Amino acid sequence: MIEELSMVSRARMHLILSQSGGAQPHRKPSRKSQQLIARAIRWLGRAIVSLGRRLERNAENLVGETELLRPTEA
């Protein structure tokens, strides 16, 4: 899952940077480039939040499953 997200993220960032003309530190990026980069950052932020929520749910499920496996005290 994380590897899939990483591959998608890399492909998307590559596409966005290629559309924006890439990083050119010697001059200010155009408005279009700034918008594309901002969109990429927002997309990555949402992907990270989504991944965090999924990991949190998985952790809660694991805790619930381990509690079910504990022997009950008489």
How many residues does the structure list for the chain?
74
Q: Report yes or no on 10 lying in a domain.
A: yes
Is 50 contained in some domain?
yes
Is 24 inside a domain boundary?
no
Q: What's the pTM?
A: 0.51
From 27, 50, 47, 28, select the one nearest 39 (Cα to Cα). 47
* Domain with 49 in it: 2-18+32-69
The count of domains in the chain is: 1
Dihedral sign for Cα atoms in the order 10, 13, 16, 20: negative
Do residues 16 and 38 make contact, with C-beta atoms less than 8 angstroms apart? Answer: no
What confidence tens digit (pLDDT) does each residue in 6-28 have?
Answer: 776 777 777 776 766 655 566 78
Name 16's Cβ contacts closer than 8 Å, sequence gap at least 6.
36, 37, 39, 40
Segment 43-64, tens digit of pLDDT: 999 999 999 999 999 998 888 8
